Every structure is written in structure tokens, then in C-alpha cells.
Structure 1
Amino acid sequence: MSDTHQQSIGYVRDSMLPETAPPLGEAGAIKWARANLFSSVANGILTLVALFTIYLLISAVLPWILNGIWEAPSIRACREILDGATGGCFAVLTERWNQLLFGFKYPSDIYWRPTLAFVLLFVAIAPVLFRKVFPAQMLVFTALYPFVAYYLIWGGSILIPIFALLGFVVGYLVYSRFVAQSFAAGFFGGIVAALLFWYVTGFLPVEGILALEEVPSRDMGGFMLNLILGTVCVSLSIPFGIALALGRQSDMPIIKWICVVFIEFIRGVPLITLLFVANVVLAYFLPPGTNFDLILRVIIMITMFASAYIAEVIRGGLAALPNGQYEAGDSLGLDYAQKMRLIILPQALKISIPGIVNVAVGLFKDTTLVSVISMFDLVGMIRGPILASTEWNGVYWELLSFAALLFFVVCYGISQYSQWLERELQTDHR
């Protein structure tokens, strides 16, 4: 018996052999290239064609960039310096950078004001975007930032943004007073109180009190105008889109049909049509002599347009939640506002992040459409005053590439943040 047992165990090793390196074709760059680029004959042919295409693009673009002229008074001077060689006339960027960024009418001696407002924007959005990193006390500055930015960019008396801020404070106090009795009463009561406060303070004299040099909206342009429209409209369209999505699912027929008609009408009309309405048609519905700021009119129309699309994105997130989530809120004894704020909306917004970001990126790029209503944003400056000048008539690729680069940086940053946020909010382990 013991002999049989000993023969069944032919050999038992009591020490490990040293590890050997894997075959060269199964590790490192060779393995990656074989698995991703040359996994089959068809993939290998496509890889070679793609590499050849990239080579052609780089060989054509790289000399244009490296041989570029950065100092010249006109396109003719650039061509004389190049003397037939391949190269870009980037001198237009060094000569007209201020017009590309701020427009051709914004006073050059106060460029520091919109620049400071742009820097403070990152301070304001930091606690919102990265709430785990920055202290919650910074949200106070986030709430104050819109009024600070208005004061810096537009100028005028400091009492104008202060009265605007106090109107929101009065509206919130009225809302908090009546919301316990009825959410609708508190919400509409707050709106009425804020409007009444602004109407009364509109008759008060505010001229000359800690006033900065006032800049009319018509004097604003360049990429600064695109940033103003994009930032304001995206910030406003998200809460309005949430309200429209909830209103479309409301049990109250009037509220529901108002939201349905608004969403379907706005989504069925091109944005450029709404911009023409803001620029021309809207003035016919205002009393004679009324001066309704053009940028404000454009902000209203773009916000309405984006809100309708975001409402449908959020409605999709709400529809994706199982009925058990709504029933859970009812079983806990929560009212409608508490159930939406604590249970439903956090989950629906998490699901809707890709769609919301898609609308935000598209909206920021669509701000260039304001150039068709004679507003000199970045594209409007390129198509208008710069290319119309005799010095730079004919410089296209350099200017449009610069515009594309600015928009790419902003849109790519938004996209990367959304992907990071999705990873941060990922709770399931797959």
C-alpha cells in the first residue's frame, strides 16, 4: 500500500524555479501593436493607410506653423518676408489679439476688468465643480459672483448689482416664509416679491455712486462675448430645464400643457430664428422708447432654446428611474419638494450628465450665431472688421484656426470634467 502511494507521487518540488521573461512578441510595445494595430490583415492595411495620412497632414501643416511670421504690419509684408516659402501669417494674431478677445470698441485701458472677471469665474465655480476639495464657505462668493462680474464688465454704479442681489434675497425670504404652507405659493410669492422690489428700486437715483466707466453692450465683442453668453446661458438653462422637465410630468393639466407647448415649440424652431426675434421682432412688442439691452434679449432667447433641450434630457433621466424610488419617498412621508430634492433629482441628474454636457457644448459653439445679427463675437470679428480691413484681407486659415483652438480648449475641458464627474459619482462595482 505504501509502495503504491509513493509511486503515485512521481516528483514533488520543494523550491520555485526562477521566473523567465515572456516571449518578445507577447510583451511591451510589440504585443500592444500586434493586438491593436495589426490584429488582422484588414486592420494592418487600415493602420498603414492611417499612418500615411497622418504623415501627409503633418508634412503639410508643420512647415506652415514653423515658418510662420509673427511680426508684420500686413499680409503683403508677410508674403514679402516669406518670399514664396510655405508659412502662416500669424502676425494678424499679434496685431489684432485685443479685438479677437475683447472686440474693437471695448476701451483698451480697462481690459483688466473683464480679465479679472474671467479669473474670478474659476474661483466661483471651483466649489461647485469640486465640492470635495474646496470648502463650502466658498459658495457664498459663488452666489455673489454674477453681480461682481456684471459690475466689472459693464461698469456703472455699484448700487445696480446691489439692488439686483437684494431682490433675490427678498424673493428667497418670501419663498422660505410660505413654502411650508405650499410650494407653489412660496415659489410664485418669491418671484412677485423680487419683481416688486426691482420695480420700486428702479426709480431710485444711482448715478455716480462708486461708479466704474460704463460700457454699453454694443461695445462688447470678441471671445469675451462668447464666454459671457455661454456661461450665463448654460448656468440659467439647467435650473429652467429641470423646472420644465418636472412641469411636463406634473399632475396639474395647465402646468403640464404649458411646459409641453413651450418645449415642443422651442425645439421646433431654429436658434437663428429666435436670435432674429430677439434682435428685431421683440422691439415691436415693447412700449415706445423702451431700451431693452440686446445682450439681455439674446441671453433670454438662447436660454429658452437650451432649456427646452435640457428639459428633454432630464425627462429621460426621470423616466429611467424605477417607480420604487418614487414610492420610497412616499413611504418616508416626504412631500413633493423633499422627494424630488433628496431622492429623485440626484439620481436623474446623474443619469443625464452626458446629455446635459452635450447640450452645453453645443450651446457654447452656437453662440457664434450671434454674428448674423451684427454682434461682433469672435467669428463676427474675423468675418467683419479684421477681414474687411485692407491690411489683413485674405488671412483666413490663421484666424479660423485660432478661433477653433479657443473653442476646442473650452469644449474639451467641459467634456473631460463631465467624464471625471461620472467616475466620481459611479457607485456600482462592475
Structure 2
Amino acid sequence: MSDTHAQTVTYVRESMLPQQEPPALERGAIKWIRENLFSGVLSSVLTILSIYVIWTVLAGIIPWLANSVWGTASLTECREVLAERGLTSHDGACFSVLNDRWHQLVFGYYPSNLYWRPILALLLFLGGLAPILFPNLPRQMLILTGIAPLACFWLIWGGSVWTPIVIALGFFVGYAAHKFFLQLAGNLAAVIGAIVLPLIFWLLVAGPLSGTLQDLIPLGIQFVESRSIGGFLLALVIGLSAIVLSLPLGILLALARQSNLPIIKYSAVTFIEVIRGIPLIVWLFTAQLLLNYFLPPGTNFDLTLRVIIMVTFFSSAYIAEVIRGGLAALPKGQYEAADALGLDYWKSMRLIILPQALKISIPGIVNTFIGLFKDTTLVLFIGLFDPLGIASAIRATTDWNGIYWELFVFIGVLFFIFCFSMGRYSLYLEKKLQREHR
């Protein structure tokens, strides 16, 4: 048997082979290129075409950037410098316009000696937003979160210090109304009272009260008119204000649309469908021309504030539908579990339903915010000097008449930085919530 067995076994390993590197085609960059760029005939053709397109674009852009001019005072001088180099006006970028007019592109016509105010306002806003975006930060920073919105408003526009204080008082009116009606008539009346009474206070009482306090104790800083606010500062004011205000309003509209009370449900449905069914540019013209007619007599809202209100309404309608999708995606068992725990409606929404719905809705919400921030450029059509409006004004001057791409490249980079940051935070938050769920 042993001889037969010895004849059937052709090879017996007596020692392990030493460890070797994998073949060159099966590791590193070569493997990635082969699998992702040249995995087949179609993939190879598309890769070659893409490389050709990228090369063609870069071959035109890189020399244009490399031959850029930064130190001249006009487009004519810039072209003279390019001519001295033996180049045409299309062979080099005249970024001197940015060196000369960057402050207008960023701040509009805001007084130059007061630039510190919008910069401080932006820092306060980011500081107030930080504990919400990153929960690991100290909870004491939430005090800054509550102060930041009104402080930013006061820093940018200036005027009486009593105005933001009286506006803040309106929130205490809402809180007191909620407590009072909760004991008197129940949850629904408390919610309605907490919304309606502050609005009445702000529309009818806040203005006269602020004026009276200013007469008694004059405190304030230099007032800046809204027409002086322009450029990227205006885009930030409108975009960030609408983003901050539209999220809670969108949540309330989404919950109202799923309410069992017909009045609340159909009011929310009507609001959402009417707002979504009309283009934003039409609502901006409405804010410019008609919104004052719907306000109490004697009320005169600044145009920028009217635009913020209308853009907030427009964004909240889209946010409401995004969140409603998140609510619809939750299994029915989550609602039944909340009822089984004995939680009332608001506690079940706050502790169980909304956290899960918002997690599902994060990509849609951030996508809506990015679109909203870019759509702030539409205010150009109602006479506000956003970055594109400022660029047109610069191009209309004798010094820079004819400049084109350099201004729009700068504006595009600014918008890209903010939109890309929002997108990256969205990815960070999604990954963080997925890890915590596991």
C-alpha cells in the first residue's frame, strides 16, 4: 500500500515558499488604473476621450492663469502689460480688477471704515452655529447660539440697540403664551398662541416700543441702509438667514401636512403647493412690490427684510416636502412604539420620530440649502446689488469696461467654497449618524 501511495502522490511540500510581492499588474496605481479606467473597450475609449477633453481645457486655462496681471489700475493698462510680454488680451487674466475692487465684490457699498462689523457678525454666526453642527462642543456655547442671530442683525444694520432687544422680547411673549394656553385650552391652542401672539407683538408693538426706549435711553451704533449692503455680503445675509429660518418652519409645515385636523392640514397643503408652484423670481417681485400691502398700515419693512421673508417661505415649502418624505419612510412601528411608551404627540415627535426622519432627509435638506444659497443671485432682478450686480456695475465703469471672466471666476470660487463646505458637512454628518446607529 505504501508503494502504491508513494507512486500516486507526485509532490509533497517539505517547506513553505518565501513571501513574495504580488505581480505589478495586481497592485498599486497600475491595478487601480486597469480596473477603473481601462477595464474594457468602452471604458478605455471613454477614458481617452476624457483625458483629451481635460487636456484641451487645461491647455487654455493654465496659460491664461499663468500670464495673469495683478498690479494695474485699469483694463487698458493690463492689456498694455500683456502686449509688452508679446501676448494678446486673451492670453492672460487681468486679475488686477480683483486687487482694485475686491471690497465691492465682498461688501458692496458698505462703509469701508465699518467692515469690521459684518466680519464680526459672520464670526458670531459661525460661533453660534458650531455647537449645533458639532455636539461635542461645550453646551455653554448654546448661549451664543441664542444671541448670535439678533446680534448679527444689529451689527450689520446698526441703529438702536433696543431693536434686537425688543425682538428678543417677542420670543418671551411666545413662551409665556404657550405656557398660559397650555394650562387653559391644551396643546393646539398653546402652539397657535405661541405663533400668533409674537407676530402681533413684532408687527404692532415692537416698533413703537423700540422707538420709545431709544428716546428714553439712546444707545446704538451707526445705522447702515440696506442699499449699501451688497456683493457677497448680501448673498450671505439672505442665504444664511433663509437657511436658519426655513428649517424650523419647514419642520412645522411637514408636521402640519400630516395632521389629523383638517384646518391645519389643508392650510399647510395650500401654502406648500402655492409657494412651490410659482417661480422664486415671481415671489421676489412680490416681495418688492406687493408685500407691504399685506402688512398693517404704517408698517414699512425694508426691501432686504422682505426678500428674506419671501425666500424663507419659498425654501420652507421645499424643506417641508423633503422632511415629509423622511416621515413617510419611517415604518409604522415607530409611531406605535411611541404610543406604547405613553408619550404625547410633541414628545414622540421630538424624541423618536423627527430624529429618524431628519437623518433620512439630510441629503435632501442640504441639497435644498445649496440651491437656495445659489438662488440668492436672483435678487439682481429686483434691484439689489448681489455679487453679479456688483460685477455689472464694475464692468460699467470706464476703468474696467470690457472685463468679464475674471469677475465671474472670483464670484464662482466664493460660492463654491460655501456650497462645497455644506456638502462636505452633509457627508460628515451622514457617516457620523451611520456609525452611531451601528
TM-score above 0.5: yes
Aligned to 2:59, the other structure's residue is in SS state helix
How far apart, in 1, do the equivalents of 2:272 and 2:98 lie? 42
Whether 2:211 is the aligned partner of 1:206: answer: no
Task: Please list the CA deviations of residues 269-316 of structure 1 after superposition, one character each: whole Å capped at 9, or x if unmatched.
Answer: 000000001101223445665422111110111111111111111111
Name the CA distance, whole Å, in 1 between partners of 2:168 and 2:293: 30
Task: Please name the residue that 2:429 is paired with.
Answer: 421
Identity of aligned residues (%): 55
Cα deviation code 1:337-374 (max 9, x no counterpart): 11111111111111111111111000000000001000
Point out the more displaced range, 233-242 or 164-173: 164-173
What does 1:10-409 align with in structure 2 at a 5 Å threshold? 16-83=16-83, 84-85=87-88, 86-104=91-109, 106-132=110-136, 134-179=137-182, 182-195=186-199, 197-198=201-202, 199-203=204-208, 204-206=212-214, 209-286=218-295, 290-383=299-392, 385-409=393-417
Distance 2:246 2:8 in 1: 77
Partners of 2:372 and 2:319 in 1: how far apart?
11
Q: Structure 1 residues 166 and 429 mapped into 2: Cα distance closer, same or farther (>3 Å)?
A: closer
Segments of 5+ residues of structure 1 without an aligned counterpart are none
- The CA deviation at 1:12 is 6.9
CA-atom RMSD, angstroms?
2.2
Amino acid at match of 1:140: I
Deviations 1:69-119 (A, max 9, x none): 111111111111101341011111111111101112x11100010011112
Deviates more, 1:8-17 or 1:207-216: 8-17
Partner of 2:419: 411
Q: Which moves more between the two structures, 373-382 or 119-128?
A: 119-128
Of residues 392-401 and 170-179 in structure 1, the stretch that sits farther from structure 2 once superposed is: 170-179
Moved more, 289-298 or 142-151: 289-298
Distance 1:4 1:342, change over 3 A: farther
Q: Specify whether residues 333 and 285 from structure 1 end up closer, same or farther in structure 2 by C-alpha distance, changes over 3 A only.
A: closer
Q: Distance in 2 between matches of 1:227 and 1:14?
A: 74
Distance 1:141 1:187 in 2: 26
Aligned residues of 2:243 and 2:312 also touching (Cα < 8 A): yes
Q: Distance in 2 between matches of 1:220 and 1:331?
A: 54
TM-score normalised per structure 1: 0.93
Greater Cα shift, 12-21 or 31-40? 12-21
Instruction: Provide the C-alpha distance between the structure 1 equivalents of 2:246 and 2:424, rounded to a whole number of angstroms.
Output: 21
Name the CA distance, whole Å, in 1 between partners of 2:186 and 2:290: 38
- Amino acid corresponding to residue 227 of structure 1 in structure 2: L
Q: What SS does the corresponding residue of 1:206 show, helix, strand or coil?
A: helix
Q: How far apart are residue 28 of structure 1 and its match? A: 1.0
The alpha-carbon distance between structure 1 residues 246 and 100, as it changes in their structure 2 partners (threshold 3 A), is: same
Measure, in 1, the Cα distance between the counterparts of 2:341 and 2:298: 55
Provide the C-alpha distance between the structure 2 equivalents of 1:66 and 1:363, rounded to a whole number of angstroms: 34
Q: Distance in 2 between matches of 1:324 and 1:98?
A: 56
Q: How high is the TM-score relative to the length of structure 2?
A: 0.92
The alignment partner of 1:32 has SS state of helix
Q: State the distance in 1 between where 2:298 and 2:177 align.
A: 33
Q: Quick one: distance in 2 between partners of 1:171 and 1:289?
A: 24
Alignment partners' CA distance in 1, 2:295 and 2:261? 32
Worse-superposed segment, 23-32 or 271-280: 23-32
CA contact (8 A) 2:167 2:206 kept: no
Give the number of equivalent residue pairs.
427
Give structure 2 stretches of 5+ with no counterpart. none
> Taking structure 1 as reference, are residues 8 and 332 closer, same or farther at Cα in structure 2, changes over 3 Å only?
farther
TM superposition outliers: structure 1 runs of 4+ over 6 Å: 1-12
Asked if structure 1 preserves the Cα contact closer than 8 Å seen for 2:24 and 2:30, the reply is yes
